[in-house]
Structure 1
Amino acid sequence: MRLLIVNRKTLYLILLALILILTIFIVVQRRDKVEDVFNTDIIYQGNKDEKIIAFACNVDWGNEYIRGMLDVFKEKDIKITFFITGRWAEKHNDLVKLIYDEGHEIGNHGFQHIDYDKLDFNRNYEEIKKAHDIIKSITNSSPKYFAPPSGAYNDNTIKAAKELDYKLILWSIDTIDWRDDSTKDKIIQRVTEKVHNSGIVLMHPTENTNKALPEIIDYLFEKGYKVGRISDIL
């Protein structure tokens, strides 16, 4: 009987140790996540406690919808941030110039639309720098914000962006407008249900995004929000 009691005590101690180890692991993971969210080199939303929201349009395709988007923004008298890939900019110099000339902010979306979290430091640096040089050659202006495609990044991405004097931009409100089931109404709902001060709304040039934009903007205006660029919320 005594041996059984000792074994039970030992078992309890082992279980307690395992629970303690698991608890420590969870706390560390959560702490790392919090530190990541508040990392000054990674921006999910702005730091202004004001009713202002930034629109971030990532562009690697959908050039046929760009002029329609620009017409909406001109009609509503707002400027946003377009994150464009270098390969898209090379093929559509005229659209890049049009976006820039109409007063919109142009950000860097890397040269190719690939997963940057799978790249080493040198590849991250090369992809960001190549897009930077292309954009600068077209606009004669240096972009200062980098949005990794699909939001995929690793430590090498952060280091490369920082070395190139970029802030890494993600988002806090996602339209998911690239998905086949993303109707105009769903896109509107995804924005209006999550609106908050200094939010970053991620979008792409699609037909249904263009249809949804006027109603989204009107809704934000009615709620007292301003709509602007990434630089406007920082």
Structure 2
Amino acid sequence: MSFYTWKTERLKRYGIIALLALFCAFALWIGRWEQLPAFSNNGEPRALSQGSSDQDHIALTFNISWGTEKVNEVLKQLEAHQVQATFFLSGEWAERHPDIVKTIQEGKHEIGMMGYTYESYLEKEPDQVAGDLKKADEVFAKLGFEDIQWIRPPHGHMNKEVLKTIEQNDMQAVQWSLNPRDWENPGTNAIIDAVLKESSKGDIIVLHASDSVKQTPKALEVILPGLKQKGLSFVSITELASGGEAKTSQIQ
């Protein structure tokens, strides 16, 4: 066999290996992509409201729009029980308290946004919603979060127009499946009972870490170990969404 024939055969062999490696990488990427839930139905954008009931996963989420006292108490409870959560922050609050945002990140919690001013999007025109999203995006980018994927519209208020605007800004709306209404301060035991009795696989639980909540940190002392005793594992919204067949809510 001549040198050139040997070299050609060698190049062919390496070329086949490279193509096989590329094919495998592409197949893995496709497999991962197919695991992500589709948040639209016939072109209508939807909000993520629950994860798969086939896995023992649960997402604990906290909204923050003002105050600094309760968030630190909440973070202490999460650290004590080794629980990671997803925090939805208003851009205005995050801009004023970058040190707390950093503490949340250092606790390995996921960060989502709630727009900038925490004013209902149902009271704004689409261009105003887009402007609020842009302003919030700029704030979080300055804080080092350039690609925030998840948004919980202020007060959880959304309709088809709002969802469409969110989608056009390459973000995904997140609702919830379990709301113990802790912001009403119904009593520590009432919050505990609502979560532990009603929670199940795939739930997205919404709680608050603004200073308006007085009983949530104390309730977490029971809720966090209680959910673990039910066999549920805490995951981020991203992990919940990519872990199986997630559920979405159609918004009118």
Partner of 1:202: 206
Higher relative contact order, chain-length normalized (CA < 8 Å, sep 6+): 2
Q: What residue identity is the alignment partner of 1:227?
A: F
| Cα distance in 1, alignment partners of residues 221 and 144 from structure 2 | 28
Quote the offset at 1:140 in angstroms.
Answer: 3.7
Q: Deviations over 1:120-177 (max 9, x none)?
A: 2111111122112211211344210010122111222111111111110011100211
Q: Is 1:221–2:228 an aligned residue pair? A: yes
Maintained 8 Å contact 1:49/1:197? yes
Maintained 8 Å contact 2:45/2:164? no
Partner of 1:231: 238
Maintained 8 Å contact 1:116/1:153? yes
What SS does the corresponding residue of 1:143 show, helix, strand or coil? Answer: coil
| Cα distance in 2, alignment partners of residues 57 and 139 from structure 1 | 20
Maintained 8 Å contact 1:52/1:226? yes
| Cα distance in 2, alignment partners of residues 129 and 63 from structure 1 | 25
Quote the offset at 1:48 in angstroms.
Answer: 5.4
Q: Is 1:148–2:159 an aligned residue pair? A: no
Quote the offset at 1:200 in angstroms.
Answer: 0.5
Partner of 1:117: 122
Q: What residue identity is the alignment partner of 2:218?
A: K
TM-score, with length taken from structure 1: 0.79
| Cα distance in 2, alignment partners of residues 69 and 174 from structure 1 | 17
Partner of 2:3: none
| Cα distance in 1, alignment partners of residues 62 and 203 from structure 2 | 14
TM-score, with length taken from structure 2: 0.74
Q: Is 1:183–2:190 an aligned residue pair? A: no
| Cα distance in 2, alignment partners of residues 80 and 167 from structure 1 | 18
Maintained 8 Å contact 2:137/2:146? no
Maintained 8 Å contact 2:63/2:207? yes
Q: Is 1:134–2:127 an aligned residue pair? A: no
| Cα distance in 2, alignment partners of residues 154 and 118 from structure 1 | 11
Maintained 8 Å contact 2:111/2:148? yes
Q: What residue identity is the alignment partner of 1:110?
A: G
Q: Deviations over 1:35-89 (max 9, x none)?
A: 98xx663111113521111011010024211111111111111111100001101
Q: How does 1:69-108 map to 2 (within 5 A)?
A: 69-108=74-113
Quote the offset at 1:211 in angstroms.
Answer: 0.3
Maintained 8 Å contact 2:129/2:162? yes
| Cα distance in 1, alignment partners of residues 76 and 219 from structure 2 | 13
Q: Deviations over 1:78-130 (max 9, x none)?
A: 11110000110111111011111221111010111111122221111111221
- Aligned pair count reads 197
| Cα distance in 1, alignment partners of residues 182 and 159 from structure 2 | 25
Q: Deviations over 1:172-211 (max 9, x none)?
A: 100211114x211011111112111110000001331000
Quote the offset at 1:221 in angstroms.
Answer: 0.7
Give the alignment partner of residue 218 of structure 2, picking from 183, 187, 211.
Answer: 211
Identity %: 28
